[in-house]
Amino acid sequence: MSKNFSNEENEKLSLILREMLDEFGCGNDNEYEIGRLLESRWEECEKGDLDNYEEEDVNFYFECKNILGKDVYKEYLVECEFSLYVEGEDLVLSWINDI
């Protein structure tokens, strides 16, 4: 499912998508085969915990989850389609490895 998000929602979802992608790549020197589905998952039990993160970051995590609901946010970066969605209680970013 995909819906039309407002400009403000698009900006927020794009920001968290890029944060998740940056965190996935930071220190990750694994080699993945081309065509493999890759996934970065932010678990609510971790990212939603005020003992681990600043209140502003926790609120932003939940805000993005609420914006998404059951929908999927898609963005194309470097000729690759990234999908951001909620699965269970977690925020998930997935894409097909093309390099």
Q: Is the pLDDT of residue 96 over 60?
A: yes
Global confidence as pTM: 0.86
Beta-carbon contacts of 63 under 8 Å, excluding residues fewer than 6 positions away, are 12
Three-class secondary structure of residue 33 per DSSP: coil
pLDDT tens per residue across span 20-43:
988 887 767 777 778 888 888 999
How far is C-alpha 4 from the chain's CA centre? 17
- CB atoms closer than 10 angstroms to residue 21: 19
In the three-class reduction of DSSP (H, G, I as helix; E, B as strand; rest coil), residue 86 is classed as strand
pLDDT tens digits, one per residue of 67-82? 999 999 999 987 788 9
pLDDT in tens, 45-67: 999 999 989 999 999 999 999 99
Domain boundaries, the chain: 7-25+33-96
Reported as half-sphere exposure (CB side, CA atoms, 13 A), residue 25 has a value of 7
- The phi and psi torsions of 21 (rounded to 5 degrees) equal -65, -40
